[in-house]
Structure 1
């Protein structure tokens, strides 16, 4: 039986930040959740089985050193030099815990996102909760903590590695901290590491030594491996000393037994076929989604069409429908059809925009059919 609590009451809007992925449990005819940016392939089967099997030992505490899952993740990050990553690596209860941890430890002063005006809100929520002044992305005032989501959620904007480094070098003040969220970057390609900050340990070390800029690399692994309910995040610190300082104040046992078992297997060669399939299908699925929605949008808003943004490799599309009423109708129609999408209103204040996940073409067709009433005769 579906819960009777209205979806609108799930979030305490006075204290919490709205996030997608809640409405599915209140929809009697639920088909697919388009409101989240998770992998369209779903959960990797072998890693899921490992998590299930681990329930048999859940009467024991998780490993205090988080091994062997932590070593496996370090090897996933850097197959040819994992030791350096391992000693600077922290695991957490999703990225949210680690975002909050760094926000608490960063130098006192303002917080700034960058460079996009719309960005994943958890960083801002944490900054506000800790009393930091929030600066606009283009504000020239030096920020004590800068947070960059790359690829950017929800807009899908992306800086390659050289553009990202240049942005940090030119806009971040000396003796401050930077968090770079690359949660969606592994979708890039099988060679994603070469376009990630994980490939830049020397640059990160030099930046801290010469200018005192501490660069933290954040990943929420719940999207790539579609395990949002297990809560898995990681943080690669700029130095071992930074990692040690954060570990001292991190809440113990923040990653549970099933999550560690899942991580141990999903980062092993056993689940390489899952990643290979992800890289093989996501771009064509997204192309199908963009083409279908572009065609539909041409028949809405008196032919004005819809603007769809984001890199081809990403697991979602950001749709500007150029009409707040149409966007609101689209959100409601999708919910009624059992294929909920993410409204651009809560958190982002983008009243004409909607975010939709990339899914199999047959599921995209269901979303398109749900939106057919938007077409005016």
Structure 2
């Protein structure tokens, strides 16, 4: 299989689709590991995989229209306290991946301008949806407040992260009264066992106050396919500012958006505490080990991102070197994500945190740099 140029869009229709990684693996004869996606290094949890497999037997039935019991199970995962869960569950809705929900929220949003988070770049589905809905696109450093502001936190791919006080300050400085705020916390659960306390989903009084006093609606999006390594299932959720906002999404959402296999997977996976404990324990260790190996071989490269993240955003300092790094990784069966297509950062590559043995294959491939 010949290597491809790092700027190639592969199977994506560049005229109408937003580039995304995760496509190379199926076209590599010597595939070893996919470093191009930010999924969990431990792969799909066995208990949830078994539940999803069993659910195939029910594929001749429609999925439950109320998304139960998976929706309630996810609510208990987000808000373990029984009283808190009961109070917040009606603000939660599931979707066919986060991308479906992103698009639905942006379609519901007030007309006007759109603004990304303050980082150098971020996941592009928000911008794509805003452009498709005719919004004026503001730069991240624009002094103007926007009708709709979208921040990926932690930011994929840059690894930047705003703690709650800084996040609230950013919202205050960038959103018009009556506007929408969409915060993507897909990678937030990697933070630590205390991730809920650091999440905007815990800030009930703040969200209600923004809505009542300024008419600002806060939506918190999760793509659960990264944490639980099930991108092929398409599974996301959004916590809305109110039950009425949730019902507005439900009204616009295509019926049976989440299939029986994905619902069964979610219902089981939220109970796998051992999987999460292993994730929190090993991910920072393996991440730092990978950074150390990169630093030893390429001391001029810079690695970015918080220690708990499931990926590393690497500046090679050279467009040519980054392109070769992408091509060599793919040729060795360990594709990484180029920073050029989609993100327009041609000196960067992004690689997922993986077990040391698989990282060794990648490092060996890069010795030819």
In structure 2, the residue matched to 1:337 is 332
Matches within 5 A, 1:122-271: 122-268=125-271, 271=272
In structure 1, the residue matched to 2:68 is 67
Matches within 5 A, 1:321-360: 321-360=316-355
In structure 1, the residue matched to 2:363 is 368
Matches within 5 A, 1:47-62: 47-62=48-63
Does the 8 Å CA contact 1:175/1:214 hold for their aligned counterparts? yes
In structure 2, the residue matched to 1:315 is 310
Give 1:142 shift. Answer: 2.4
Moved more, 254-263 or 77-86: 77-86
Distance 2:10 2:280 in 1: 37
Distance 1:373 1:88 in 2: 52
Distance 1:204 1:139 in 2: 24
Distance 1:85 1:234 in 2: 14
Structure 1: gaps of 5 or more residues: 299-304
Does the 8 Å CA contact 1:73/1:267 hold for their aligned counterparts? yes
Distance 1:295 1:171 in 2: 41
Give 1:9 shift. Answer: 4.1
Distance 2:169 2:203 in 1: 13
Give the CA RMSD over aligned residues: 1.2
Give 1:204 shift. Answer: 0.3
In structure 2, the residue matched to 1:302 is none
Moved more, 310-319 or 124-133: 124-133
Does the 8 Å CA contact 1:77/1:85 hold for their aligned counterparts? no
Does the 8 Å CA contact 2:9/2:19 hold for their aligned counterparts? no
Distance 1:85 1:72 in 2: 13
The secondary structure found in structure 2 opposite 1:176 is strand
Structure 2: gaps of 5 or more residues: none
The secondary structure found in structure 2 opposite 1:17 is coil
Give 1:238 shift. Answer: 0.3
Distance 1:197 1:332 in 2: 39
In structure 2, the residue matched to 1:21 is 22
Distance 2:297 2:150 in 1: 36
Moved more, 184-193 or 236-245: 236-245
Give 1:320 shift. Answer: 0.3
Distance 1:221 1:112 in 2: 24
Give 1:8 shift. Answer: 4.5
1:315-370 superposed Cα distances (whole Å, 9 cap, x missing partner): 00000000000000000000000000000000111010000000001111111111
Distance 1:130 1:238 in 2: 22
Distance 2:205 2:103 in 1: 26
1:284 aligns with 2:279: no
Distance 1:335 1:147 in 2: 32
1:30 aligns with 2:31: yes
- Aligned residue pairs: how many? 362
1:75-102 superposed Cα distances (whole Å, 9 cap, x missing partner): 0000111122210011000000000000
In structure 2, the residue matched to 1:301 is none
Distance 2:87 2:192 in 1: 23
1:94-137 superposed Cα distances (whole Å, 9 cap, x missing partner): 00000000000000011110111211111111111112121100
Distance 1:323 1:276 in 2: 38
